[in-house]
Structure 1
Amino acid sequence: MSQTPETEGGRLFFRSETFAADPRRTRRTPTDETVPEPGRDIPLHARCDVLVVGGGPSGVAAAVAAARQGARTILLERHNHLGGLSTGGLVIWIDRMTDWSGRRVIRGFAEEFLDRLPKGAVSGPSPALWGARDAATAAWWAARTSAFHGIVTHSPTCDPEAMKLAAQEMVLEAGAELIFHAWGAEPILREGAVRGVFFESKQGRRAILAGVTVDATGDGDLFARAGAAYSDDIDERDIHHCMNTSWLFGGVNMPRYQRWRAEQPGAFSAFLQAGRERLRFFDKAFASWRDDVALFMGPRLSGYSAVDVDDLTAVEIQSHRLMAEHLALYRAGAPGFENAYLMLSAPQLGVRHARRLTGVAAVTRGDWDGRVWADEIGVSPSLSPKFPNVSVPYGALVPVALDGLLAPGRHLSCDANSHSFLREIPQCWMTGQAAGTAAALAVAGGVAPRAVPIPDLQATLRVGGAHLSPPAPERATA
């Protein structure tokens, strides 16, 4: 989520607390042993035009966009719900969709999706306040995660169950087919191109063949297993690589807690310090979509790998223990939490980073200068009012040398600095819509995704409500 940025050595990073893994923890010793697996024929489960693997924000947007273009679309999801980290990960604080002038730049699918949520399922400032800079208004919304750098933004907090249902219904209404409880295991490769996926389920291993596959796993599982190039470097000063299980406390009085924070900052600081001394890992409570529910987005744990099953297990164990320990300390020392109770721990682990595609193009720190890519598929708000909006190219979704696959979402092609904001949910909606649209156009035109005509893609995105920069005679090229 958005934090106060700092500049060091020319690089922008988030100033936020992270908690390093204990170096003394026991790690499994690798062995050279192998176990042979007999060869077998895998049952064909289905054929489709566009297969989307992963039902998180980018996958949902991709499936809706592809199906609306007339492509036979299947969305494969390993959990029992859609929304990914925005729902199952309890990342219900949706980051900024407006730029620093208050203009909404993440639009299209994202705008339609949020507009579908029922009254009472969304908390945030009205459009009339987006971009407001008066101190009192900004301070009030800053305590509710909707103002940064003294500027009110469109950063709503949403009911995760309402988001699950809205995502599901949008996918089905678009005409896409949903398959839950199915884990995309391996890409199907033919002549150097991805042609579908093998997945695991209660029915065993099965296959889906597709004209174009959209890797929306968030961790780049498919493109990595297909042999595509990727990066996994991180900025250790940033939170973009940390992991944790989020949770909710019910029975709280958030207005009382927020008044205490604002009116007694010394007492609040002493409370946090006592928590750190007691637990070492201790974090702040955030507002949610309800005044009686508190959201905890941390403590953020660093030093773990998002593609190591033992590390994932260790983070889950530590996060759940911290949840119970936080409850005891908050009930004892934080006004408004006297009657708090454990409401829900996130069903999905909060992974921020694993791999980043090496794409035809990449968003890098040097691109935060207002340049507009010729193959732009969306615009992201920048991290700070010091920077203009950031153009996102289609090439950031296209592997350098692998055909038949697109990779929207938090594993798109970018550097570690740019990943700190391109991984966020609104940007995943934006790149997912672009990937689904491009996949459908590729199938309809009988071309590889990299050969989709950019003017056609941009025109179709605009029809779908996406915000693109105005045409200009000279633009950067991928």
Structure 2
Amino acid sequence: MGTLTPEERHFFRSDVNARDSERKQRQPQGHITEPARQVPVHERCDVLVLGGGPSGVAAAVAAARSGARVVLLERYNHLGGLSTGGLVIWIDRMTDWSGRHVIHGLAAEFMERLGRDAVAGPPREDWGSRDTAKADYWSLRTAAFHGVVTHSPTIDPEMLKGVYHQMVREAGVDLILHGWMVAPIAEEGRVKGAVFESKQGRRAILASVVVDTTGEGDLYAAAGAAFSSDIDAHDIHHCINTSWLFAGVDMRRWLDFRAHEPQAYSAFLARGRETLGSFEKPIVSWRDDVATFLGPRKSGFSALDVDEMTQVEWESRKSMAEHLAFYRAHAPGFENAWHMLMAPQIGTRHGRRLVGVKSVRRGAWDAGAVEADEVGISPSPSPKFPNISVPYGALVPEKLDGVLAAGKHISCDTNSHGFMREIPQCWLTGQAAGTAAALAADAGVLPRDVDVRRLQALLTAQGVPLRQAAAETPRAHTAEA
């Protein structure tokens, strides 16, 4: 495998800001013993989806539309995870380098339901265009990379919350907000549900199949599934931060400055880094008077440590105030900027990655082989590579039964995690996991024993583009060597 340049590894780049704070060291304080208790069963269902982020919403809608009785458990008061509450309102590429819309199905429906006023991005006829003028224009608006215009819109997060809720309700999903999974219910290596906490107390949900869309694999890790936690320290795929929005800006004026005054723009960036250290550039939003800041991205923190995440929240809030003062003083178009919103959800990119039956791996990029159990197609991170086949086996734990994973914690290596964690890929794996979970529940089989040909046929009928692999019988339960 050759060494990849940053441009080849990721199509959107940002500074990786090393932490400059010491880790909080808590001293052991002993233990307590909790008494045994009886936990009321809150609900029984075919499919339980844990986490209402982009993958969880897709999984719940897909499972319910496939005829399953579905419960979706979400800890916040809204759906969408980082795509809404995390203010990651830039939806990464859903087209490949030819302009083909490869992440489709529910992903396309989410965008279509948003409506014109809630989405900003290139028109469909320009997807895949290599026209220099168009690429230059859209590159400033996070929708052209390597000289190619892509389907990478920015969206109104409040409108997307509404779309998610509407689609979940229409599908007949039993939605539970303000509840947080705290323990799996498992017997002899098979997950049969989960325990959650809320203001109502501790309660249980029993299910034929559980879909873990918690973001960090909380359910499958607690149930004993193997996972990986290694990171690429030089890449943003593991960084943490809390995003924010500034309003009262003139983004057209800012982009004109960035495009036509390169020396002044470079001097501005240098001054910002010298003044603030960790410095972030704004990107466009769905409106010209709102700027999005998706950083600064902080390295060296753990998404699984409560003290670490608390520190990131403090440092991100401090950065927001410092950036506002600096931009108001020095950035064209930001003279009247004001704090609009700091994200209510922290932006954790990486915590755990499943050890699955199969895995999305860097070694397979060059060949572009189609997996026999393909359940989705991801655009590659560079025109140098063909599209990347996402196998069903990447959602299936190597040994643990009764559970599927979807979202940023599926089975993949660190290079592939750089794009498999993105929102469109979470929609892709969520739709596949939800459809498979419904199929398993209906057939009374384990997720690893689902008829993959049947799964692929159902996904195709849902508008998911799939390709025909070389003639072989796909089997999710046969682990990779």
Same fold (TM over 0.5): yes
- What is residue 170 of structure 1 aligned with on the other side? 167
Shift of 1:16: 3.1
Moved more, 26-35 or 111-120: 26-35
Query: What is the aligned counterpart of 1:338 among 335, 338, 346?
Result: 335
- What is residue 263 of structure 2 aligned with on the other side? 266
What amino acid maps onto 1:282 in structure 2?
A: F
- What is residue 463 of structure 1 aligned with on the other side? 461
- What is residue 404 of structure 1 aligned with on the other side? 402
What amino acid maps onto 1:442 in structure 2?
A: A
Deviations 1:347-374 (A, max 9, x none): 1000110000000000110111210111
Residues 372, 468 of structure 2: 8 Å contact kept: no
Residues 239, 349 of structure 2: 8 Å contact kept: yes
- What is residue 379 of structure 1 aligned with on the other side? 377
Structure 1: how far apart are the matches of 2:190 and 2:56? 20
Shift of 1:472: 3.8
Instruction: Look up the SS of the partner of 2:115 in the other structure.
Output: coil
Deviations 1:112-153 (A, max 9, x none): 111101221000001100001011110100000000000000
Residues 359, 394 of structure 2: 8 Å contact kept: yes
- What is residue 15 of structure 2 aligned with on the other side? 17
- What is residue 217 of structure 1 aligned with on the other side? 214
- What is residue 299 of structure 1 aligned with on the other side? 296
What amino acid maps onto 1:40 in structure 2?
A: R
Query: What is the aligned counterpart of 2:104 among 100, 103, 107?
Result: 107
- What is residue 55 of structure 2 aligned with on the other side? 58
Structure 1: how far apart are the matches of 2:302 and 2:344? 19
The answer to whether structure 1 residue 452 and structure 2 residue 450 are counterparts is yes
Residues 279, 296 of structure 2: 8 Å contact kept: yes
Structure 2: how far apart are the matches of 1:109 and 1:26? 41
Structure 1: how far apart are the matches of 2:10 and 2:252? 31
Structure 1: how far apart are the matches of 2:83 and 2:412? 22
Deviations 1:286-308 (A, max 9, x none): 00000000000000000000000
Structure 2: how far apart are the matches of 1:363 and 1:430? 14
Structure 2: how far apart are the matches of 1:10 and 1:91? 21
Moved more, 464-473 or 55-64: 464-473
Structure 1: how far apart are the matches of 2:272 and 2:253? 20
Alpha-carbon spacing, 1:19–1:9, altered in 2? closer, same or farther (3 Å)? closer
Moved more, 345-354 or 187-196: 187-196
Alpha-carbon spacing, 1:399–1:30, altered in 2? closer, same or farther (3 Å)? farther
What amino acid maps onto 1:200 in structure 2?
A: E
Unaligned runs of 5+ in 2: none
Instruction: Look up the SS of the partner of 1:145 in the other structure.
Output: coil
Instruction: Look up the SS of the partner of 1:210 in the other structure.
Output: strand
Residues 371, 476 of structure 1: 8 Å contact kept: no
- What is residue 155 of structure 2 aligned with on the other side? 158
Shift of 1:26: 4.4
- What is residue 326 of structure 2 aligned with on the other side? 329
The answer to whether structure 1 residue 438 and structure 2 residue 436 are counterparts is yes
Deviations 1:41-88 (A, max 9, x none): 111111111000000000000000000111100000000000100000
Residues 9, 382 of structure 2: 8 Å contact kept: no
Structure 1: how far apart are the matches of 2:5 and 2:29? 43
Shift of 1:30: 4.1
Instruction: Look up the SS of the partner of 2:195 in the other structure.
Output: strand
Structure 1: how far apart are the matches of 2:3 and 2:179? 42
Deviations 1:135-182 (A, max 9, x none): 111010000000000000000100000100000110110111100000
Residues 372, 476 of structure 1: 8 Å contact kept: no
Residues 21, 304 of structure 1: 8 Å contact kept: yes
- What is residue 248 of structure 2 aligned with on the other side? 251
Instruction: Look up the SS of the partner of 1:240 in the other structure.
Output: helix
Shift of 1:268: 1.3
- What is residue 87 of structure 1 aligned with on the other side? 84
Unaligned runs of 5+ in 1: none
Structure 1: how far apart are the matches of 2:58 and 2:474? 26
Shift of 1:10: 13
RMSD across aligned positions (CA) = 1.7
Q: Give the structure-1-normalised TM-score.
A: 0.96
Residues 141, 147 of structure 1: 8 Å contact kept: yes
- What is residue 284 of structure 2 aligned with on the other side? 287
Instruction: Look up the SS of the partner of 2:94 in the other structure.
Output: coil
Residues 376, 391 of structure 1: 8 Å contact kept: yes
- What is residue 421 of structure 2 aligned with on the other side? 423
Residues 254, 331 of structure 2: 8 Å contact kept: yes
- Quote the sequence identity (%): 62
Query: What is the aligned counterpart of 1:119 among 93, 116, 125?
Result: 116
Shift of 1:8: 5.3
Residues 123, 157 of structure 1: 8 Å contact kept: yes
Instruction: Look up the SS of the partner of 1:52 in the other structure.
Output: strand
What amino acid maps onto 1:460 in structure 2?
A: L
Moved more, 96-105 or 364-373: 364-373
Structure 2: how far apart are the matches of 1:278 and 1:8? 29
Instruction: Look up the SS of the partner of 1:120 in the other structure.
Output: helix
Residues 6, 12 of structure 1: 8 Å contact kept: no
What amino acid maps onto 2:240 in structure 1?
A: M
Structure 1: how far apart are the matches of 2:230 and 2:196? 28
What amino acid maps onto 2:423 in structure 1?
A: I
Structure 1: how far apart are the matches of 2:8 and 2:160? 35
- What is residue 194 of structure 2 aligned with on the other side? 197
Shift of 1:275: 1.4
